Structure 1
Amino acid sequence: MALGLIDKLTSFLIPPDDQAAGSDRAAIPAVKDNSGQESERRPRLKVHSQSAGPLKIIIDLPTGFDDVQAYADHLRNSIAIIVNYQQVDLATQQRMSDFLNGVCYILDGCVQRISEQVVLYTYANIDIDKKIFAYSVPTYVRVKE
């Protein structure tokens, strides 16, 4: 009984090939579509992929707090941002960083500091491998005496 049920489900979900379906062709009803041609009624299967599209990254050098709105719009549109805070003062950098951290939190994104003044902001479903940073940015410097 179980094998019969599996066979029925398999033949319903995946119709047999045209070559192997010579005797089963009569069992599938023909349907006329709007163009007047007869076509067989077959289930249409769609395959959904979980792979994301290409990763887009914008690298920018902000000059003031006014730029932060554009960065939030980029994150909302699934574009990652690398922000270099060299040209802003420390207070503006803190305000911008706080705002973009909140945007990333809401979008379920990620924030990774690359250097003292360079930060990477990503949207959801982007994983950042921290092993790369372990080799490029030392966590401490040992001083020889």
Structure 2
Amino acid sequence: MKVYSKKSVQHVNASIEECWAFFSSPRNLQKMTPKTMGFEITDFDGENMYPGQIIQYKVSPLFGIKLIWVTEITIVEEQRYFVDEQRFGPYTLWHHKHFFEPTENGVKMTDLVHYAIPFGFIGRMMNALVVKNKLNEIFEYRANRVNEIFNSK
């Protein structure tokens, strides 16, 4: 199994409290996801993030095909980091760490995703041709939304 990684670092013009409140709320996931993904939370307990929380979505990452994606919040360290892991969905492995570090003028936000795709050689080809680019688009969209929400004040 080939494991890939994607790292993103962005400055957020907000306090650590504001930043954490926004990003640790599953209610805000849809605001940070491109509309073309057809993202919809289908099962969520309505609570703020906590270890063991299960969130279920429908997404259409490719060709409009609806997929069910279930993630678990496995680790939460208030105002420092949290981890979400896929329990069911399109990846063989999805492990996403979200780090928040206060700076003099805001928060340094770092995302690190490790992922693997099923189907061996075909999966590696799909990553090279489609998946890697789609993830880059999603992270670019998210960076633009962060700029709109926090950095354009």
Structures share fold, TM-score greater than 0.5: no
TM-score normalised by structure 2 residue count: 0.22
TM-score normalised by structure 1 residue count: 0.22
Decide which structure has the larger Cα Rg and report it: 1
If each structure's strand is expressed as a fraction of its own residues, which one has the higher value? 2
